[in-house]
Amino acid sequence: MSQNQEADYRDKARGDRAQQLLEDELLTESLQILKARYLEEWKNSPAAEVEARERLHIAYNMVDQVHAHLNIVIGNGKIAAQNIAQLKKRS
């Protein structure tokens, strides 16, 4: 098996796992709770506490970045699955 084929199988497995994570009720709930908590804390923080508000803003956005990264891994997994399917057709 070539390195590209190994990478495709690895990427497909990672994509499948990322999909499972996004469909996991506990993880989804946890990310929603964190995002809501960060937003609420930011809204209730005094405007003068600039550093604390910045940290909350960054934390809030990090939740979205986790979600976006998992979607990228899923997309890469789909591409890898197509590569694997094409390779199997040629064999």
Mean of pLDDT values over 47-72: 97
pLDDT class for 4, splitting at 50, 70, 90? confident
Mean of pLDDT values over 9-23: 98
Per-chain mean pLDDT for the chain: 96
Asked whether 56 and 38 are in contact (CB, 8 A), the reply is: yes
Domain that holds residue 8: 3-90
Closest listed residue to residue 41, CA positions, set 51, 56, 62: 56
Asked whether 82 and 15 are in contact (CB, 8 A), the reply is: no
Quote the pTM value: 0.87
State how far the Cα of 67 lies from the Cα of 89, in Å rounded to an integer: 33
Task: Count up the domains in the chain and report the number.
Answer: 1
Neighbours of 87 (CB within 10 A): 14
| 91 pLDDT above the threshold of 80 | no
